[in-house]
Amino acid sequence: MATSFVSGLQGQRVIVTAGAGGIGEAAVRLLHDQGCRVVLCDVAQDALDRIAAELPGVTCIRADVSDEGDVQRLFDTALSVLGGLDALINNAGIAGPTGGIEDIAPADWRRCLDIGLTGQFLCARLAVPAIKAAGGGAIVNMSSSAGRHGYAFRTPYAAAKWGVIGLTQSLAKELGPHNIRVNAILPGIVEGPRMDGVIRDRAEKVGISFDAMKTRYLETVSLRRMVTPQDIAGSIAFLLSDAGRNLSAMSFNVDGNVETL
């Protein structure tokens, strides 16, 4: 097992949504290395199979967080496997459509909010009774730099991520008396194929090259670099650890200081 990152993670029972790729996978790997017992869900079966083979002891479940039946099955299985719950990482989300408001199909709007916001509600409502029963714990909701900036041509995504901040603030007040900490993480421009797709779509929308659009994105970041999934995973682990025991209702920008979108 890896050297302890921070104290208090050993033995924690954790559910991670969208845990078979990107930020979710990085979080699963770090938490597993630190001695957490992890159940993850995802919609990509091949990725779930890969994680199950690579991380013995991690339970992988195929589930769409926007589907109430899938979420119920996820929690039924997870709580049976884990015997309780100490933390929920609400990580699932999609990029959603890129386009002017008049070009966005209502179905695409709904899908983006169903996964990125309603999915967090569906998971939290089942996680909270179990975390209460454990005597307290933590919920980490994944927002985005788009959760504090307006984001032209990405209105469904920005709306979902602003909604996550409201959900986080409300749950922190509601659940604090039960010793449950609720925080949001706001990643910025995260390295990986999903961000490449976002940059490509935005470049096409404004009529410039991919490289030119990538340069524009990085010029709005004070540190002039992307963040990695591992950067986000480290912040998640910190919030679950003893070091984060008095942090709640916070929105942590892990983005190199994105100045605007």
Kindly give, in sequence order, each residue whose CB lies less than 8 Å from that of residue 243, ignoring residues fewer than 6 positions away.
6, 7, 8
Helix count (H) and strand count (E) of the chain? Answer: 9, 7
- Rounded Cα gap, residues 146 and 42, in angstroms: 23
- Nearest CA to 193 among 183, 184, 201, 204? 201
- Rounded Cα gap, residues 205 and 185, in angstroms: 28
- Nearest CA to 41 among 23, 67, 15, 66? 15
Helix 155-175 to helix 119-133 angle (10° resolution) is 20
- Reduced to 3 states (helix: H, G, I; strand: E, B; else coil), residue 158 is helix
Please list the active-site residues.
157
CATH class of 13-190+228-254: alpha beta
Average pLDDT in the chain? 96
Residue 19: Cβ within 10 Å count: 30
pLDDT single digits (tens) 164-192? 999 999 999 999 999 999 999 999 999 98
pLDDT single digits (tens) 9-48? 999 999 999 999 999 999 999 999 999 999 999 999 999 9
- Predicted structure pTM score: 0.94
